[in-house]
Amino acid sequence: MATPLTDQEKRKQISIRGIVGVENVAELKKGFNRHLHFTLVKDRNIATPRDYYFALAYTVRDHLVGRWIRTQQFYYEADPKRVYYLSLEFYMGRTLQNTMINLGLQNACDEAIYQLGLDMEELEEMEEDAGLGNGGLGRLAACFLDSMATLGLAAYGYGIRYEYGIFNQKIRDGWQVEEADDWLRHGNPWEKARPEYMLPVHFYGRVEETRDGSKWVDTQVVLAMPYDTPIPGYMNNTVNTMRLWSARAPNDFNLRDFNVGDYIQAVLDRNLAENISRVLYPNDNFFEGKELRLKQEYFVVAATLQDIIRRFKTTKKGVPGRTSFESFPEKVAIQLNDTHPAMAIPELMRIFVDIEKLDWDTAWDLTKRTFAYTNHTVLPEALERWPVELLETLLPRHLQIIYQINQAHLDRIAVAFPEDMDKLRKMSLIEEDGCKRVNMAHLSLVNPFHHFEPEKFQNKTNGITPRRWLLLCNPGLAELIAEVIGEDYVKELSQLKKLNDFVDDAAFIRDVSKVKQDNKVKFAQYLEKEYSVKINPSSMFDVHVKRIHEYKRQLLNCLHIIAMYNRIRKNPTAPFVPRTVIIGGKAAPGYHMAKMIIRLITSVASVVNNDPVVGDKLKVIYLENYRVSLAEKVIPATDLSEQISTAGTEASGTGNMKFMLNGALTIGTMDGANVEMAEEAGEENLFIFGMRVEDVAEMDKKGYDAMSYYKKLPELKQVMDQITSGFFSPKNPDLFKDITDMLFKHDRFKVFADFEDYMKCQEKVSQLYQDPKEWTKMVIKNIAATGKFSSDRTITEYATEVWGVEPTDLKIPPPNDTLKVND
């Protein structure tokens, strides 16, 4: 059971976690009991912990509803420019605690639940993660929604309500096994279905040329049913909307054909239409050109654009609706989260030209001024290139429009670069080599190729929301920071630089160190409870959690583990700084090499963890089913964050920022946002190693020779010989042949080239860890330098530099006040 807060603790926590008023607590208890009784139809004798979670969720949701309605009312009255964030992924995680924090209800809820004789943490653990994303791209979308609401932007997230999110990962006999993520099994208290806004989406068919222009006819229709989830800003009474579409078959599906005698079969076949929103594709940084995936991409785009246009045309009562689209780009900004929703471009053109009867040039001008696109990866295998043949079948009118866009595009290039056929070929939206394909990145850029129109290109450093990634997951650290610099940093993270004044403050150093130790003990207890593994909380927690991918180089970490193991075995009495190496992350189900990497790590773990010579010095844990709610537990407990991708392969990364904010030090290459982290904190306050981008380019020119490193570095040779000989797989010595072959013969990511420097850098890490005071000083310098990495800063830049909207401090009046809007 939870223990009540002392008066001193309450005073300490008042600010960040909300005020505990007697009336407040009484009202929450009343709401809780009412929902248990009337919504869940249970009494305290038969209610389960899940019932209690739902009762609390509905009670907290009650506090959102008034603010949600008021916010939407306010937007309707004030008619601001609206921002639409289109994404195939929103990796939201859990909602309960985040909502309590953003509404300032956390302390009151804690107290109410305590008085009801329940354990808040147990209830929070009942909530399923909304795992509607793979990794960075989907989680970034979720952080962005939080920041857009906190900054008071009239913003909407639009995506798909997948019935099954990212698979649940089980490790069985060392292998990854996937299980379906039936996250909606018990219902979702945070969503509200909106069948009254259901919209048709068309597929297949053919194009008919008429006197009135092109008509897309004989299509198959699928209905898009919207489900709305509230997105509360932090303590500003703003509640925005994330609208996710679910596919529904129309009632006459397969029954319009009067000769279909099989009524039963026709009803069963409704599943085929509804499969569109059934499951999230589990690929991260990899394009798989499947028809169902293209259907998903067009489905979200077609439903969303109808919704956007409906909202654009609807104005206040008594004011005639908008009939001209002239002001469309002044009222609407659409951000494409990677190329996944890029079909929005030809779709908006189709609506403007075919349905609204605008001429092509006007339509194209409006479209160009409405969309912006963010590229999230530099790996070529991640780029979407859809076969023309597939588009021709599924979306024939859109293919025509893409051809027309491309023709105008190539005409412009030909004028700018006459005689340069190679440039035309490279910049065309259509790739002609082999199977004809539409390059979706080229479609998203169309005019602004960098050397062609450099002014249209901007860089935006990604960010993370400090609400979830500090207040929610690390309350001890959040409170400690508030005690020394005040609480305003939560909305203005750059204030963390004030912590530089406390780098040498003995009491602050001690407190920061204690918070980390408490978090480590708590995480160690979690691991023991969930996985029956015992770890030593005074060891260094060395953590590498992210999707499993060759470019992220979990293999480099694995080689280091084996090398440490060999050192201990060679000289068991030599001093060794104890480590618990924690690796976690999911491999795409079809990515053989990634699955073999997991198998290698688990094999190494079972050897290391069961060797009596090693004892407590080195432990290796594979963290099963890494997800948002598990990140919230492991990140605050981490000492060393591994960010070791080959320089030039990670576009940004955001996990790196979460670790930095939570008091971990980083070992990393000069890749992605590590570069800016080193810029902000000073390179001397990160453990930077390995080739830089220029070195990698140089090596690509002269050729990478893995064997030369194997011959030159005895420790590397020993490690590779052990893997090759079956030391870690005695029952199947050839088990890891695919890995060793890749490392020696075709390693795109040059693991061996950085091995020696990585080993040396890791020794520096161990050395500093032996001096807790100096280690913690470096931690404080890192936390003080994280201000730039708030998604509030990222979104402020998008708002002012891309979308043409201004963040506002305006606090919408709470539901009990009257709403006044100046016309």
User: pLDDT (tens digit, 9 = 90+) per residue, 714-768?
Assistant: 999 999 999 999 999 999 999 999 999 999 999 999 999 999 999 999 999 999 9
Work out the end-to-end distance of the chain between its first and last CA atoms, rounded to an integer number of angstroms: 53
Whether residue 820 is predicted with pLDDT greater than 60 in this model: the reply is no
Say if residue 56's pLDDT is above 60: yes
Of 813 and 806, the one with more pLDDT: 806
pLDDT at 318: 62
Residue 10 has pLDDT above 70, yes or no: no
CA distances from 521 to 524, 535, 657 (A): 5, 9, 23
Other beta carbons less than 10 A from residue 150's beta carbon: 27
Q: Looking at residue 286, what is its pLDDT?
A: 85
**3-class DSSP state for residue 589?**
coil
pLDDT at residue 821, as a whole number:
47
> At 704, phi and psi to the nearest 5?
-95, 125
Among 306, 287, 245, CA closest to 440: 287
Model confidence pLDDT, tens digit, residues 278-302: 999 998 888 888 999 999 999 999 9
C-alpha to C-alpha distance for 145 and 463, rounded to whole angstroms = 12
For the ranges 138-147, 380-389, 510-519, the lowest mean pLDDT is seen at 380-389
The per-residue pLDDT for 659 is: 98
Instruction: Catalogue the long-range contacts made by 668-677 (C-beta closer than 8 Å, 24 or more residues apart).
Output: 668/641, 668/642, 668/643, 668/644, 669/643, 669/644, 669/645, 669/754, 671/643, 671/645, 671/646, 671/647, 672/643, 672/645, 673/461, 673/462, 673/789, 674/643, 674/650, 676/461, 676/788, 676/789, 677/785, 677/789
CB 247 within 8 A of CB 277: yes
- Average pLDDT over every residue of 67-74: 96
pLDDT over 50 (residue 1) = no
Supply the DSSP symbol for 355: I
* Contact predicate 689/728, CB 8 Å: no
Q: Which domains does the chain have, with CATH numbers?
A: 475-789 (3.40.50.2000)
Q: Select the highest-mean-pLDDT range: 22-31, 451-460, 790-799.
A: 790-799
Q: What's the pTM? A: 0.95
Q: Is the pLDDT of residue 153 over 50?
A: yes
Query: Per residue in 576-629, pLDDT tens?
Result: 999 999 999 999 999 999 999 999 999 999 999 999 999 999 999 999 999 999
Give the tokens for residue 557: 């970490």
Between 69 and 23, residue with greater pLDDT: 69
Q: Are 580 and 535 in contact (CB under 8 A)?
A: yes
Convert the pLDDT of each residue in 322-380 to its tens digit.
Answer: 889 999 999 999 999 999 999 999 999 999 999 999 999 999 999 999 999 999 988 99
The torsion region of residue 173 among left (phi > 0), alpha (psi -120 to 50) and beta comes to left
Q: What percent of the chain has pLDDT over 70?
A: 96
Mean pLDDT rounded to a whole number for the chain: 94
DSSP conformational letter for 203: E
pLDDT of residue 19: 77
User: Predicted confidence band at 817 (pLDDT cuts at 50, 70, 90)?
Assistant: low
Higher pLDDT, 654 or 434: 654
What are the b/e assignments for 307-343, b being 16+ CB within 10 Å? bbbebbeeeeeeeeeeeebeebbebbbbbbbbbbbbb
Q: Look at 97 and 434; give whichever has higher pLDDT.
A: 97
Whether pLDDT at 11 is above 50: no
Lowest mean per-residue pLDDT among 317-326, 463-472, 659-668: 317-326
pLDDT score, position 434: 87
| Cβ-based neighbours of 374, under 8 Å, separated by 6 or more | 335, 336, 337, 338, 460
pLDDT higher than 80, residue 44 = yes
Give 100-123 pLDDT, tens digit per residue.
999 999 999 999 999 999 999 999
Cα–Cα distance measured from residue 583 to residue 819, given in angstroms and rounded to the nearest whole number: 51
Q: Is the dihedral of CA 349, 352, 357, 360 positive or negative?
A: negative
Task: Report, as residue numbers or ranges, the catalytic residues.
Answer: 376, 546-547, 552, 654, 658
The predicted pLDDT at position 734 comes to 97
Q: Is 205 left (phi over 0), alpha (psi -120 to 50) or beta?
A: left
φ/ψ of 530, rounded to 5, equals -85, -40
Q: Give the CA distances from residue 621 to residues 520, 522, 527, 534, 536, in Å, rounded to whole numbers and listed in that order.
A: 14, 16, 9, 10, 12
Residue 574's region, left for phi above 0, alpha for psi from -120 to 50, else beta, is beta
pLDDT at 4 over 50: no
